[in-house]
Amino acid sequence: MKNNRALTFLFFISVSLTFVNCRSQEKDSLSYQTEVKTLKGAFEDKFYIGTTLNAWQIMGRQPEELKVATENFNSIVAENIMKSARIQPKEGEFNFELADEFVKIGEENNMHIHGHTLIWHSQAPDWFFVDKDGNTVSKEVLTQRMKDHIHTVVGRYKGRIHSWDVVNEAIEDDGNYRNSKFYQILGEDFIKLAFEFAHEADPEAQLYYNDYSMAMPGKRAGVVRMVEKLEKEGITVNGIGMQGHIGLNHPDIREFEKSLEAYGNLGKVMITELDLSVLPSPWGDAGAEISDNYEYEDKMNPFPNGLPADVEQQFTKRYVEFFELFLKHQDKIERVALWGVNDGNSWKNNWPVRGRTDYPLLFDRENNPKPVVKELIELAAAK
């Protein structure tokens, strides 16, 4: 009789412990789902997940969008306000008002802050390259102007801005150097000088080269060749920024991975300016040459009143495929940053065709997370 009672007692204890363990596992699962409900929570041990702030958001005129940014992302970059033409429109006259506010937002929200960009041909002020009479300046003058600009800007935020796009878009798609004003006056040395000056201004900042169409074999070879040469010359290049202006069918994700691996062999990689256009492309590739513009045609704007369900599914699938790739190579990736907070303020609505309605980001025009956000959070949890 005692043995039967003992067996019954042990059985009861065993069942109870099993029940408690199952409940505990269920509770842990529910707790995880409750705690990890944002992108930054899901990816916090993988890589920084970032977004881009425009001037209106930085000035506080779009508070709901700023709230989306600070609640869902742990890294920020400024879309335009830190480019040289904005921050030093006249020689020696710096405008730091919005840049200061941008950095303040990042610091108050404990965010990784990325600086964009120090040297870029497209939004550089004209005075960089000419004297008071309009004549092209000498190598010495342009070098000094670059040094003054970089030392002033990077020096102001030393220890506060964690990483910089030092040079932006200096390589053509075929791998040759872009024939910009910087290149015409200084040759390829302008890239070396820019990285030298940035490192002098803040030796602890992470310094990046950033460019578009980085999955193209020709550009890949050119960028690798350039960075390897700089490193042989003792120049600090901490990593490569791969602009992520992608579409439903371009670039080939296998080529993107080849580039990610190639750049990862040189240093850290950032996936920058990420957006996924669902609209037809005038040229059919992943280019992002900002000077390219095309006339509006209705056939180029097929979804003015909303995205069909089947296209939304393609959009979600494509984003998930790329984030699967990012997670696969998370040991190489420092940061993945979306180029905008919501669809309404994306540059893709007006480029390369002005006046279109695109849907390239993770939050819709009303600041609601799209279905893809839940998919990405669950994907991160599984990795």
SS3 readout for the chain: CHHHHHHHHHHHHHHHHHHHHHHHHHHHHHHHHHHCCCHHHHCCCCCEEEEEECHHHHCCCCHHHHHHHHHHCCEEEECCCCCHHHHCCECCECCCHHHHHHHHHHHHCCCEEEEEEEEECCCCCHHHHECCCCCECCHHHHHHHHHHHHHHHHHHCCCCCCEEEEEECCECCCCCECCCHHHHHHCCHHHHHHHHHHHHHCCCCEEEEEECCCCCHHHHHHHHHHHHHHHHCCCCCCEEEEEEEEECCCCCHHHHHHHHHHHHCCCEEEEEEEEEECCCCCCCCCCCCCCCCECCCHHHCCCCCCCCHHHHHHHHHHHHHHHHHHHHCCCCEEEEEECCCCHHHCHHHCCCECCCCCCCCCECCCCCECHHHHHHHHHHHHC
Residue 169 annotated to the active site: yes
Of these residues, 79, 196, 273, 334, which one is catalytic?
A: 273
Residue 188 annotated to the active site: no
Crossing angle of helices 189-201/217-232, nearest 10°?
A: 60
Of these residues, 169, 255, 257, 297, which one is catalytic?
A: 169
Catalytic machinery residues? 169, 273
